[in-house]
Amino acid sequence: MAQEMWTEERPPGDFYRILDPDGELETEAPEMDEEELLQLYRTFIATRVLEEKMLNMQRSGEVSLVARTLGEEATPLGGAAALQPDDWIFHTYRQTPALLYWDRPMVEVIASATGREPETIAEQLDTEDPAVNFSPDYTPIGTNVVNGVGAAMADAFNDRDTVTMVFTGDGSTSQGAFHDGMNFAGVFDVPAVIICQNNQWAISEPAHRQTGSETFAQKAAAYGLSSARVDGNDVFAVYEKAREAVERARSGGGATFIECVTYRMGAHNTSDNPNRYRDDSEQREYWEDRDPVDRYDTYLRNRGILDDDTETELRDEIDDQVADAVEQVRSISNSEPDRMFDTTLHGESWRERHQRAELHRELNGKNPFVDFTGEGFNE
């Protein structure tokens, strides 16, 4: 197996950073009070506990597939923390911290992975909308970049001061949709922040097979967008650059593209086996030394904001929250099969009526094919 050491031409250390890997400040920390600092910490821990639990649920067959955020939590967290209520996030499948930071209910996060129809989940869960709006998560990568930019265009045309944040990955920068979205963002000067979570692997393809450019950040120049390249494992750095970008967007300064350099510590998802394509012991060690949570943990302890007691208390609280959410998810009944017809189109069509009836017959052990006149199933 060919060893893929550094996947980019430019070394990963060549970026904006505030908190060094040892948890020491390299420059001034963002202005945040103790509660805000703890909120970031809480979200870090909640993400790890929740995703660990979901991984277990995957192993026991309760959810089909899980894509974890492990090792790259600081990027979605720092980005999301820079938003204000009523802003929008268009996300993919590796932004759990963004969801949890803005109180998207854990039960919804888990339930959406259980394969139940969205109508079933919505009907059986009594949850409140989070303060920041979330698109559904996107699995076809790059798609959300264009939709997010369209949403931001709508804000601009309506003179709203809403900001749209789009999360995407290094792999998606190879997609036409990424370029379509970036180009529209530049042409229409939209209030959007596009964050590239460069975790250096798109399943088995390394970042240097996604681009011939030195960095992803420099792609912004081609579209006339502002840009930044930051240490994606430094929550302060991501937050600070995202905050500047959000401010710029809100004040009519247009869109920003931020490359956050991080590393996917685990597999792409639970059906992936990275041992087949990367021998990453050396890389792994490098990135473990730069773990976003450890780094931040050290900082808080050095500042006297966090101690063992606070941590234990917080972890207990989160364990309870996750256990409660899992219990709620388990209480949701399976979807009625004919839910599959719901919310396809408004109103009712002959085909829909007929095919619903056919399905019911099939489920009842009856022959669905006995209508030879189109007049339905009269019996």
Partner 1 sequence: MSNDLDRMELNTDVEIDPQETEDIDLITAVNRTLHQEMDRDESVRLLGYDIGPLGGVYRGTEGLLEEFGKNRVIDTPLSENGIIGTAAGMAMRGERPVPEIQFMGFFYPAFGQFMYAVVKMYKRTGGALEMPMTIRIPYGGGIKALEYHQESTETYFIHTPGVRVICASTPAQTKGLLAASIRNDDPVIFLEPKSVYRGIDEPVPSAEYTLPLDEARIVREGSDVTVLTWGAMVHQAKSAATDVDADVEIVDLRSLSPLDIETILDSVSKTGRCVVFHEARRTLGLGAELSALINEYALDRLKAPIKRATGYDVHFPGHDIEDDYLPDDERARYAIEAVMSYEF
Binding site for partner 1 (CB under 8 A): 88, 90, 117-119, 121-122, 135-136, 138, 140, 143, 146-155, 157, 176-177, 180-181, 183-184, 187-188, 342-347, 349-352, 371-374
Q: Closest distance between partner 1 and the C-beta of residue 96, in Å?
A: 18
Minimum CB distance to partner 1 smaller for 128 or for 285: 128
SS3 269: coil
- Cβ at position 169, least distance to partner 1 in Å: 16
- Please state the closest distance from residue 185 (CB atom) to partner 1, in A: 9
Least spacing, CB of residue 83 vs partner 1, in Å: 16
Which is closer to partner 1, CB of 151 or CB of 217?
Answer: 151
CA distance 367 to 86: 51
Residue 370 CB, nearest approach to partner 1 (Å): 11
Cα 3 to Cα 189, 276, 278, 284, 310, distances in angstroms: 41, 11, 7, 13, 42
* 55/131 with CB nearer partner 1: 131
- Give the integer Cα–Cα distance in Å for 254 and 247: 10
Cβ proximity to partner 1, 111 vs 246, nearer residue: 111
CA nearest to 70, candidates 311, 269, 301, 304: 269
For 186, the 3-state DSSP assignment is: helix
Phi, psi of 279 (to 5 degrees): -110, 95
- For residues 338 and 342, which CB has a smaller minimum distance to partner 1 in the complex? 342
CA distances from 61 to 54, 110, 120 (A): 10, 13, 20
Could you give the CA distance from residue 138 to residue 298 in angstroms, rounded to a whole number?
A: 34
Separation CA 347–CA 334 (nearest Å): 25
Take residue 114 and report the two structure tokens written for it: 């259980």
For tokens 């004040």, the residue is 251
Q: Residue 149 or 193: which CB sits closer to partner 1?
A: 149
Q: Shortest Cβ distance from residue 135 to partner 1 (Å)?
A: 7
Cβ partners under 8 Å of residue 95, min gap 6: 69, 76, 80, 89, 137, 167, 197
Q: Nearer to partner 1 by C-beta: 56 or 84?
A: 84
Amino acid present at 134 = F
> Least distance from C-beta 119 to partner 1, angstroms?
4
Least gap, CB of 148 to partner 1 (angstroms): 6
Tokens of 62: 């309760």
Our CB check for partner 1 shows the closer of 1 and 345 to be 345
Q: Is residue 193 within a helix (H) or strand (E), and if so which, with residue range?
A: strand 192-198
